[in-house]
Amino acid sequence: MSIATKPRADAAAGGQEHWTRKGDVKLFLWEKPARLAQGKRGAVLFVHGSSMGSQPTFDLQVPGRPYSSAMDYFAEHGFDTWCVDLEGYGRSDKHRDINCDIANGVDDLAAATDYITKTSGVKQFLVYGISSGALRAALFAQRHPGRVKRLALDAFVWTGAGSPTLEERRRKLPEFRSKNRRPIDRAFVRSIFNRDHPGCADEKTINAFADAILALDDSVPTGTYVDMCSKLPVVDPGKITAPTLIMRGQFDGIAGFDDLLEFFKRLPNPDKQFAVMAGISHASFQQINYLMVYHILHAFFTQPEPIHRG
């Protein structure tokens, strides 16, 4: 059960800090409300990946890079925006002796949405997840269908087939299984941008991203790596009823194209889309073409509901 605690405003960043609990685990949430006086478009919940907390991913501030923060962009366009540091990441608790796998992250999303519903009245969310965050978001939609209005899965992987990144990562599976956390450093963050197709992100953004990540963490949980290397599939597309967008970077080494197409075909809701993002490798919000990514996501989140369903 989540327990609400008093939020704290951060005027400099234009956001508000919140805390809630999952049992004895404290979870950090970050909110940037819609900047429109009227005509709000809903609440977006952003879900981070395996190797960084939520604010570096979704509220990255880079001088001279317009709307570098996805939260700023969507707040400016009428959305209440939220993100949460899942257990073991960022400012959330790291004291439990567990590897914080995908299912544990889904429990965190349940606690976070409990809190948001209690404090804001929002009952359904526009959910975006990237990489292992997309797996968490998809499993959350499967387990809590009533809480997800629309679901966007970026850099998603279903069975792992056709993923060179996971094939390479499996070589270290015994190491990941042997401990609950793995170290990260600047070189590791840079490898995220160099492993698939170097040049898709600019140096200034990569450096700012690394600074933001390493200010919060020098290690991260191993659970999502173990799951993605040895336990896929963890999501059943036939049980995801929300309208769904699959977002796949042109050069992404995680998201096997045919694997995603097969997942896409099995989604039961006909309100679904598959977008290939040109010039994008893996961390799409930190790429040179990031505004294109925002456009695709914004169009999906603002799409009118179908009137005629046949």
Q: Which residue, 50, 48, 265, is CA-closest to 59?
A: 48
Mean per-residue pLDDT, 14-22:
96
Q: Which residue, 77, 60, 78, is CA-closest to 69?
A: 60
Per-residue confidence (pLDDT) for residue 12, from 0 to 100: 41
- Per-residue pLDDT of 91-112, as tens digits, reads 999 999 999 999 999 999 999 9
In whole angstroms, what separates CA 266 from the centre of its chain?
22
- Give the C-alpha separation, 29 to 13, whole Å: 14
Between 205 and 4, the more confident residue is 205
- Least-confidence region, from 2-6, 49-53, 92-96, 274-278: 2-6
Between 145 and 13, the more confident residue is 145
Per-residue confidence (pLDDT) for residue 37, from 0 to 100: 66
Mean per-residue pLDDT, 132-148:
98
- Give the C-alpha separation, 20 to 204, whole Å: 34
Compute the mean pLDDT over every residue in the chain, rounded to the nearest whole number.
95
For 282, phi then psi, to 5°, come to -115, -60
pTM: 0.95
In whole angstroms, what separates CA 213 from the centre of its chain?
15
Residue range 8-301 in CATH 3.40.50.280: no
Per-residue confidence (pLDDT) for residue 263, from 0 to 100: 98
Per-residue confidence (pLDDT) for residue 2, from 0 to 100: 42
Mean per-residue pLDDT, 134-150:
98
What the block records as the tokens of 255 is 């998201």
Check whether 293 has a pLDDT greater than 90.
yes
Mean per-residue pLDDT, 209-223:
98
- Give the C-alpha separation, 62 to 208, whole Å: 7
Strand boundaries in 52-180, DSSP class E? 79-85, 125-130, 148-154
- Per-residue pLDDT of 220-246, as tens digits, reads 999 999 999 999 999 999 999 999 999
Check whether 13 has a pLDDT greater than 80.
no
- Per-residue pLDDT of 158-187, as tens digits, reads 999 999 999 999 999 999 999 999 999 999
Check whether 309 has a pLDDT greater than 90.
no
The residue extents of the domains of the chain are 8-301
In whole angstroms, what separates CA 92 from the centre of its chain?
16
Check whether 69 has a pLDDT greater than 90.
yes
